Amino acid sequence: MTLDDMGSRICIMGPSNSGKSTLAEAIGRAKGLQVVHLDQLHHLPNTDWVPRPSDASAALHDAAIARPGWVIEGNYSRLLPQRLERATGFILLDVPPTTSLYRYVRRCWFERNRRGGLEGGQDSVKWDMIRHIVTATRGNRIRYREMMDGISLPKVQISSTKALAAFYHSNNLTR
């Protein structure tokens, strides 16, 4: 499956810190698509990840998916049905929890203005997030894999950093 097979509305999902934002930015540049980071729609800017009221984030989400072309990254399963209704392609990043944990710590300590970050926000290592990556990610990965079977869109599942690098290379994407 190539990126060209996925059309102009691509949905990327996967565990926290699996590379969704970086991949979305790369695809957006390559295909000339607007990039939508669901974390930015779900959380208030200039905060330490304070959520918006759910109706406000849902309205921002629905406005984003109404556009003619986009690559949207993030999970927020409650809004997934309408997102998949509009999507023309689907990518599941399924990297191991150790990779996600490493990326989380790296982004908090070393990356300023990271892709997909909150405007005016500063990431910091939080025990709740570490616990989420170590415990919840396992169940989410199983749920996402099962969900993949029911998606009839052109789709690809990427299950390792090596496979992700190959996807970048085969689609002429740059980080």
- What are the domain boundaries of the chain? 3-170
Judging by beta carbons within 10 Å of its beta carbon (0-12, 13-18, 19+), is residue 40 exposed, middle or buried?
A: buried
Whole-model pTM over 0.75: yes
β-pair partners for 126: none
Q: How far apart are CA 12 and CA 173, in angstroms?
A: 15
Q: How far apart are CA 12 and CA 27, in angstroms?
A: 10
Q: What does the pLDDT look like over 20-56, one tens digit per residue? A: 999 999 999 999 999 999 999 998 988 877 899 999 9
Q: Which residues of the chain have pLDDT under 70?
A: 112-122
Q: How far apart are CA 127 and CA 132, in angstroms?
A: 8
The CATH class of 3-170 is alpha beta
The amino acid present at 166, given as its one-letter code, is A
pLDDT at 66: 98
pLDDT at 90: 97
Alpha-carbon distances of 75 from 17, 37, 119, 169, 173, rounded to whole Å: 12, 10, 19, 25, 22
